[in-house]
């Protein structure tokens, strides 16, 4: 069914919910915003949320809950062991995913910790469509390495390929042949491939990956954190899925995978995470790690209230008119920016709108973090907080050499059911202004640089006084606007 059409022909997304609780936002004047950005070391992770107008850093743990989720939280059964809430959540997962066993964990990376500790050994290789930051860090810390084998179109910024998150099957066969199958810990597929712009894979591709795994006796691990968007795109874009319900597609996906894990901060409009499998053997191998790192088996570090919210949220994720809200708002933003000639990742994916900093600020070398500089500049001119997804999010080699990212992106995530269309229009307007004034944006350099996941805490300085020039130009065009 997809999008609701307007008689006027206007192509805009329509919210299929009404707002019943609101949170007041503040928009500080630009002179203050530039100070906040400097105090935060030009790292959007270090801004205080009260100083942010539109928080588009992430869709993790910040999606709006429904009335049904909030009311379910009131019936949570608070007990250390044997909680009724756990039983209800486990049953929902059995019904929706068709998987028998469920191990709760406090968030997605906690699942990655457990899966990597159990299955990754010194010298192991994990082929995957594309890495996620925490996924790679957990595999590497356990002595393994990753091989990214997304199709070539996946890392082309502008493309019309409907499934840019697909794994290249020939490359998968080559990785297995080159390393030997005994070295492959497992093959990993990520739904809504995060770091290349929330791009989906097709059901057909997953079926092909499964075939190769079967031929080589390999395990297939599925990161379902961004499953909702991927499901929507499969239903919209893939012939074999058009006649299936979202629930049917979900079951088909799960039946192809040995282990499915997810961040419930993304999937199910809640917070938490979990690992699902149909194999008792795999379940037993992972089980003791839950009690060691997360909590007892029936809560795994999650609050029971969140578990109830997740149960209801997972059911809501099977409703096409609920899961289409993210992709439709993102599509609107991407298409509007694209029409204005502003470089964005196309086609629109899930998760958020991704500005292509490599072209937006093509005068900034990768060694001066173009996507990080763009994130800083956008906050200064708009109060919109995005997230750098480029070289800053990579890690240096042991000898200090920079690893330049394939893409330099500024991700503007679209938390689900949170923003209205006029707020999205405001973001588009300020991005357009910034694009017209892009030559004023300069680079950044680290002044404090942690070795691991440096993008979280690293602090940077501008390479010149470009931020003052940006403020002056803004004030010329907007003498009395916030
Ligand atoms: N896998 C994917 C695909 C993710 O997008 C994330 C988190 C994780 C695993 C880890 O889950 O945060 O619950 O520990 N992505 C967030 C983001 C952080 O902002 O994109 P987590």
- Mutual orientation of helices 421-436 and 325-339 as an angle, nearest 10°? 30
**CATH code: domain of residue 26:** 3.90.1150.10
- The reply to whether 332 and 294 lie within a common domain is no
Q: What are phi and psi of 34, to 5 degrees?
A: -65, -35
Smallest Cα–Cα separation from 270: which of 307, 297, 320? 307
List Cα–Cα distances, 185 to 205, 310, 412, in angstroms: 20, 30, 33
Q: What are phi and psi of 102, to 5 degrees?
A: -135, 125
Q: Whose CA is nearest to atom 21 of ligand 1?
A: 108
**How far is it, in rounded angstroms, from Cα 262 to Cα 469?**
44
Give the pLDDT confidence of 156-207 residue by residue, as tens digits.
999 999 999 999 999 999 999 999 999 999 999 999 999 999 999 999 999 9
- The predicted pLDDT at position 346 comes to 94
**Are β-strands 101-105 and 145-148 bridged in parallel, bridged antiparallel, or unpaired?**
unpaired
Q: Is 6 a catalytic residue?
A: no
Residue 177 located in a structural domain: yes
Catalytic residue among 119, 455, 459, 474: 455
Residue 137 located in a structural domain: yes
Q: What is the largest CA-CA distance in the chain?
A: 67
**How far is it, in rounded angstroms, from Cα 371 to Cα 460?**
13
Take residue 407 and report the two structure tokens written for it: 């893409």
Question: Does ligand 1 have an atom closer than 6 angstroms to the CB of 265?
Answer: yes
- The reply to whether 468 and 403 lie within a common domain is yes
Question: Does ligand 1 have an atom closer than 6 angstroms to the CB of 60?
Answer: yes
Domain final residue pick, 258, 288, 321? 321
Q: Whose CA is nearest to atom 16 of ligand 1?
A: 60
List Cα–Cα distances, 309 to 267, 402, 409, 415, in angstroms: 11, 42, 32, 17
**DSSP one-letter string for 398-467:** TTS-----S--EEEEE--TTT--HHHHHHHHHHHHHHHHTGGG---EEEEE--SSSHHHH-EEEESSSHH
Q: Is 389 a catalytic residue?
A: yes
Question: Does ligand 1 have an atom closer than 6 angstroms to the CB of 273?
Answer: yes
Ligand 1 mean position, distance from CA 306 (Å): 17
Q: What are phi and psi of 94, to 5 degrees?
A: -60, -40
Take residue 361 and report the two structure tokens written for it: 């600020």
Question: Does ligand 1 have an atom closer than 6 angstroms to the CB of 145?
Answer: no
Task: Tell me: cis bond preceding 347? Omega within 30 of 0 counts.
Answer: yes
**CATH code: domain of residue 239:** 3.40.640.10
Classified as helix, coil or strand, 356 is strand
Ligand 1 mean position, distance from CA 291 (Å): 22
- The reply to whether 436 and 361 lie within a common domain is yes
Question: Does ligand 1 have an atom closer than 6 angstroms to the CB of 134?
Answer: yes
- The reply to whether 207 and 311 lie within a common domain is yes
Whether 371 and 214 have beta carbons less than 8 Å apart is answered as no
Catalytic residue among 7, 18, 24, 80: 80
> For the chain, how many structural domains are there in total?
2
Q: Is 233 a catalytic residue?
A: no
- The predicted pLDDT at position 418 comes to 96
Q: Whose CA is nearest to atom 20 of ligand 1?
A: 58
- The reply to whether 296 and 192 lie within a common domain is yes
Residue 482 located in a structural domain: no
- The predicted pLDDT at position 395 comes to 86
Take residue 107 and report the two structure tokens written for it: 């968030």
- The reply to whether 78 and 46 lie within a common domain is no
Mean pLDDT by 10 residues, the chain (482 residues): 86 93 96 98 98 97 97 95 96 98 98 98 98 95 98 94 98 98 98 95 98 98 98 97 97 98 97 98 98 96 97 97 95 98 96 97 98 98 97 92 94 96 98 98 97 92 98 97 88
- The predicted pLDDT at position 406 comes to 87
**How far is it, in rounded angstroms, from Cα 199 to Cα 188?**
15
Domain final residue pick, 286, 321, 356? 321
- The predicted pLDDT at position 2 comes to 66
- The predicted pLDDT at position 1 comes to 61
Q: Which domain holds residue 197?
A: 67-321
Question: Does ligand 1 have an atom closer than 6 angstroms to the CB of 45?
Answer: no
- The reply to whether 184 and 273 lie within a common domain is yes
Tell me the sheet residues that pair with 103.
Answer: 275
- How would you list the strands of the sheet with 220-223, edge to edge? 101-105, 273-277, 259-263, 220-223, 187-190, 125-128, 145-148
Smallest Cα–Cα separation from 56: which of 423, 461, 303? 423
Residue 248 located in a structural domain: yes
- The reply to whether 293 and 337 lie within a common domain is no
- The reply to whether 49 and 179 lie within a common domain is no
**Are β-strands 273-277 and 459-462 bridged in parallel, bridged antiparallel, or unpaired?**
unpaired
> pTM value?
0.95
Scanning the structure block, which residue is given the tokens 């995005």?
Answer: 386
- The reply to whether 197 and 162 lie within a common domain is yes
- The predicted pLDDT at position 48 comes to 97
- The reply to whether 338 and 304 lie within a common domain is no
- For 105-126, letters b (16+ CB in 10 Å) and e give bbbbbbbbbbbbebbbeeebbb
Domain final residue pick, 321, 339, 369? 321
- The reply to whether 162 and 301 lie within a common domain is yes
Ligand 1 mean position, distance from CA 109 (Å): 7
Q: Half-sphere exposure (CA, 13 Å, Cβ side) for 137?
A: 16
Q: For residue 49, what are the contacts with CB-CB under 8 A and spacing of at least 6?
A: 55
Give the pLDDT confidence of 272-292 residue by residue, as tens digits.
999 999 999 999 999 999 999
């Amino acid at each position: 069914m997809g999008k609701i059409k307007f008689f006027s022909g206007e192509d805009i997304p329509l919210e299929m919910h009404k707002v019943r609780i609101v949170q007041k936002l503040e928009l500080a004047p630009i002179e203050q915003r530039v100070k906040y950005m400097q105090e935060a070391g030009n790292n959007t992770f270090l801004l205080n949320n009260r100083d942010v107008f539109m928080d588009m850093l992430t869709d993790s743990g910040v999606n709006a809950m429904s009335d049904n989720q909030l009311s379910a939280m009131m019936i949570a059964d608070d007990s250390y062991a044997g909680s009724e809430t756990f039983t209800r959540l486990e049953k929902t997962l059995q019904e929706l995913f068709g998987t028998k066993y469920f191990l709760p964990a406090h968030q997605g990376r906690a699942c990655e910790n457990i899966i990597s500790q159990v299955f990754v050994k010194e010298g192991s290789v994990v082929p995957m469509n594309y890495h996620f930051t925490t996924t790679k860090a957990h595999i590497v810390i356990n002595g393994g390495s990753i091989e990214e084998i997304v199709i070539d179109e996946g890392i082309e910024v502008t493309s019309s390929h409907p499934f840019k998150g697909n794994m290249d099957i020939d490359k998968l066969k080559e990785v297995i042949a080159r390393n030997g199958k005994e070295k492959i810990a497992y093959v990993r597929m990520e739904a809504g491939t995060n770091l290349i712009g929330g791009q989906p894979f097709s059901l057909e591709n997953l079926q092909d990956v499964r075939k190769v795994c079967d031929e080589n006796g390999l395990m297939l691990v599925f990161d379902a954190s961004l499953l909702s968007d991927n499901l929507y795109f499969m239903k919209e874009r893939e012939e074999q899925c058009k006649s299936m319900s979202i629930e049917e597609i979900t079951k088909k996906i799960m039946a192809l995978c040995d282990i499915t894990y997810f961040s419930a901060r993304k999937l199910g409009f809640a917070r938490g995470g979990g690992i699902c499998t149909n194999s008792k053997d795999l379940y037993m191998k992972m089980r003791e790690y839950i009690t060691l790192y997360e909590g007892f088996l029936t809560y795994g570090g999650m609050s029971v209230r969140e578990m109830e919210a997740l149960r209801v949220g997972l059911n809501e994720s099977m409703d096409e008119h609920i899961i289409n809200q993210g992709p439709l708002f993102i599509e609107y933003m991407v298409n509007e920016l694209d029409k204005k000639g502003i470089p964005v990742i196309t086609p629109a994916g899930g998760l958020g709108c991704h500005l292509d900093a490599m072209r937006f600020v093509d005068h900034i070398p990768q060694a001066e973090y173009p996507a990080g500089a763009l994130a800083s500049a956008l906050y200064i001119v708009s109060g919109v907080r995005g997230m750098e997804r480029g070289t800053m999010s990579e890690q240096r080699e042991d000898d200090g050499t920079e690893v330049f990212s394939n893409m330099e992106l500024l991700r503007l995530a679209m938390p689900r059911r949170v923003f209205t269309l006029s707020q999205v229009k405001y973001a588009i307007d300020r991005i357009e202004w910034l694009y017209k004034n892009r030559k004023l944006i300069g680079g950044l350099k680290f002044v404090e640089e942690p070795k691991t996941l440096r993008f979280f805490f690293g602090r940077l300085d501008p390479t010149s006084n470009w931020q003052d020039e940006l403020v002056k130009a803004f004030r010329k065009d907007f003498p009395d606007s916030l």
